[in-house]
Structure 1
């Protein structure tokens, strides 16, 4: 299918051929009929993408600070690799469309195939022939509303939420500053609410259009004087700012034209440095409108499909979309009057060139062929670079996020002896980019394309955590060798599923427990030998904070204990050479990811893990100390190893190496020779230990890892 994408690194914009997206359980698969280019928002994205690295840094100083922290914490080279992997990811453009439902997810009832639907959401309702859109970002198109009008649904919801924030009442005088698409829609929404509306924009053509769309008055200059006359000298009851400018003048002018105790609502991207005096003297209310409405930026609402009860949240973003379309159906809002240009999707580059030309434009639409769904493909064969296809094991990647691109894929390529057969992602955009950059033979959005491919010997699973177990089990059942990024599973049922598949499989299974392959940790283990007694181990992790709305903290991530603490349990398992059999854990009050964990191992060793999100992230992340038979081992962030014995300390220093390359090399050797680099019993016990830690945190009691291991103590 065709989709508009832009390189965030170079700014290049193109119409790419990519596989159709995979349908999620709570989503609708939609064949796009018309999508709207939001000139203001998308032009800003284009300009940022085309900016130099310095320009991008100036636009996002928050990200620069994060990069600098990571340099101090992880080193320059790993940080730069991650940054460029992120910059290389193409941006899908578009966020407002109208189309036809062609498939329905099992958790998205109430729709019918063939139904007309309007969709919203950046990265979801894209300029693409086929889109998978979560159900809460979709609204049925009423009878009598054509696709072009319905394609304005996102901008309509944004305008409507701004109006709701202004809380206008019948007969009030409202000023709309900025008469672009959202401003002009705001004018009509306010008129539908029974308000007297004054529009302002420096562009005389926009002023004329505002009058044509129902504004009582619209001007391009002398705003304070005009407002005084329009309101009988009182000032505006409310001002809605829909302009886009870095200047602080609009917000301060809004204060000057407001009445005593008036309201100002910021919808557009404007400067926010305010003059205190007019706000103070008039005791003004200042509000920022959050895009489409309640639910925006809430992953549980947008991605998870959990609606807010209507009795508590009357107007969610979806209900705003529905209300806007209803007003269009009644003829009170006429979006199609704003359309100045139409382009077929294949000529989208011309549409975006228009945004940078001197030719006047307002609403620009992209149109799509009606038979796109009939040609929908979720796997596309490509012509690959000879260096990737000459010899070696065929490797497919299912999932290609930032870690997979910056760490795993380079490790496989550096190890040599591999062919890149296919790459699978949920949307196809990043798959297409990876295919171009690395030379995969095929790009796909359906994992079955990789699992059923006879040329694929190895499947690397680097998707979100909740999919690992099922995908690993399927790949093993298909006779593939499986490298599964941690964790192996996020619950006991998933672990049982993949273990059952591994028991009968001909392929090798390993998990991305790379720390046991770190050169300095291997040296530390060697320094503990020979030994006859147990180890006492301490692993301190300065983990840093991950926001609660991150996917890692939600159901698809399984949380930080299952998702990351498994690394540290595995490192201790490697050091003592015995399985964990019991776990005790407590969390700091109010902080589920600031925990102290005690583990007991089958050989009598103990391990303490202090895992905290509360520290300063600029300090090193990991410190390991091991005490055994007159020896003390200290490993500082995989950069410095000290071994103290008999009053003497020896020190080894190196660049940080957490073992990813060595793990990949060991796995490839195992795929050739048949011996797993990590015994399946250890994969099982380490994963089960994380479940036991979570159970201990919930129950505040000791939790056995697995009963059959307890008898080994």
Structure 2
């Protein structure tokens, strides 16, 4: 048996490295991957060569620890089944369906302590959305939406869509979403966002209550577009003393902000949100385990597997990344199906 692992060899290029099947150590299990998902945000920064210098690949995921240098394996949405266990691991692990924060690889070894057992009532494709849903939960926690507030989500990629799906469950005055791509606006409506605006429409700013130089009507705006211009848009749509939660990571892309008109006098708060940590003011009551448990529950309620727009074999990985890079409006969630072609 051989192992196949996706590797970013240089910006704009991915290859599949073939090697011998790994053998689990005494305290490890061997996982055979069924599906893995491409992160259209962070992972595409790696593909495009937009990762900032001197920033580690990840500070909390064991499989991604270390400095950033090409070539490298990157990814953190993997679902599979335990097919072998080391001598020190309970045999109960054999056959379990698990989620792993692990790069795209069809066979890999892991300490079972860092695997997430998939609940029996969730299918494998739904489980793929665990990291994205956990991020959405974290964004909602950081934004602290209140009853009767007006909220806008800028960007309806997978994170924006899941965040909007959670916000739809709050008794807000109004929830509006903004995106340039029709496919994503349609998905936003399907998830419950009744007011979805086209970012390419010159009238969207006025329609969302914005007044040039005077801010807008939103109490809370989420910037989740991944586009640096989205942050200026978010600030300009926020009302006096409102807050903007920034979930986008722009990598090396520079942000040009207008902080000289409404922002200063408007007392707008900018909040950085990143899923690797919880807001300090929440840590007396919230732990990552509680957040993760809630993410599983939200997957049960939202059932986001319908957001998968494309499936590729791992061998066709170059086509998958090229599609996301060149035609983002055609995709929402792209996944790899690691199963043999005759068993799909």
- Write the deviation string for residues 157-176 of structure 1: whole angstroms up to 9, x where unpaired: 12221121101134432110
Question: Aligned equivalents of 1:213 and 1:253: distance in 2?
Answer: 23
- Give the structure 2 partner of residue 34 of structure 1: 35
- Give the structure 2 partner of residue 284 of structure 1: 268
Query: Which one of the candidate residues 213, 217, 227 is aligned to 2:195?
Result: 217
- Write the deviation string for residues 24-58 of structure 1: whole angstroms up to 9, x where unpaired: 7876543211111122332221121xxxxxxx8xx
Q: Deviation at 1:148?
A: 0.7
Query: Which one of the candidate residues 334, 352, 360 is aligned to 2:321?
Result: 352
Q: Is the contact between residue 29 and residue 133 of structure 1 (CA under 8 Å) also seen in structure 2?
A: yes
Question: Aligned equivalents of 2:337 and 2:47: distance in 1?
Answer: 21
SS at match of 1:13: strand
RMSD value over aligned CA atoms? Answer: 3.5
Q: Deviation at 1:151?
A: 0.7
Q: Deviation at 1:325?
A: 1.9
Question: Aligned equivalents of 1:107 and 1:290: distance in 2?
Answer: 35
For residues 404-419 of structure 1, the aligned pairs below 5 Å read none
Q: Give the gaps of 5 or more residues in structure 1.
A: 49-55, 64-85, 296-309, 372-713
- Give the structure 2 partner of residue 90 of structure 1: 71
- Write the deviation string for residues 642-682 of structure 1: whole angstroms up to 9, x where unpaired: xxxxxxxxxxxxxxxxxxxxxxxxxxxxxxxxxxxxxxxxx
Q: Deviation at 1:143?
A: 2.6
Q: Is the contact between residue 5 and residue 91 of structure 1 (CA under 8 Å) also seen in structure 2?
A: yes
Q: How many residues align?
A: 314
- Give the structure 1 partner of residue 219 of structure 2: 237
Q: Give the gaps of 5 or more residues in structure 2.
A: 56-67
SS at match of 2:330: coil
For residues 89-488 of structure 1, the aligned pairs below 5 Å read 90-103=71-84, 112-120=93-101, 125-133=102-110, 137-195=114-172, 196-220=174-198, 221=201, 222-228=203-209, 235-245=217-227, 247=228, 249-270=229-250, 271-274=254-257, 275-294=259-278, 312=284, 314-316=286-288, 318-329=289-300, 331=301, 333-358=302-327, 360-369=330-339
Q: Is the contact between residue 235 and residue 244 of structure 2 (CA under 8 Å) also seen in structure 1?
A: yes
Change (3 A) 1:46 1:144: same
Q: Deviation at 1:61?
A: 5.7
SS at match of 1:14: strand
Larger CA deviation: 333-342 vs 351-360: 351-360
Question: Aligned equivalents of 1:111 and 1:199: distance in 2?
Answer: 45
More helix by share: 1
Q: Deviation at 1:260?
A: 2.2
TM-score by length of 2: 0.78
- Write the deviation string for residues 593-620 of structure 1: whole angstroms up to 9, x where unpaired: xxxxxxxxxxxxxxxxxxxxxxxxxxxx
- Write the deviation string for residues 409-446 of structure 1: whole angstroms up to 9, x where unpaired: xxxxxxxxxxxxxxxxxxxxxxxxxxxxxxxxxxxxxx
TM-score by length of 1: 0.40
Question: Aligned equivalents of 1:93 and 1:162: distance in 2?
Answer: 23
- Write the deviation string for residues 176-208 of structure 1: whole angstroms up to 9, x where unpaired: 001111111111111134444210012233222
Q: Deviation at 1:369?
A: 2.6
Q: Deviation at 1:272?
A: 4.4
Question: Aligned equivalents of 2:147 and 2:18: distance in 1?
Answer: 51
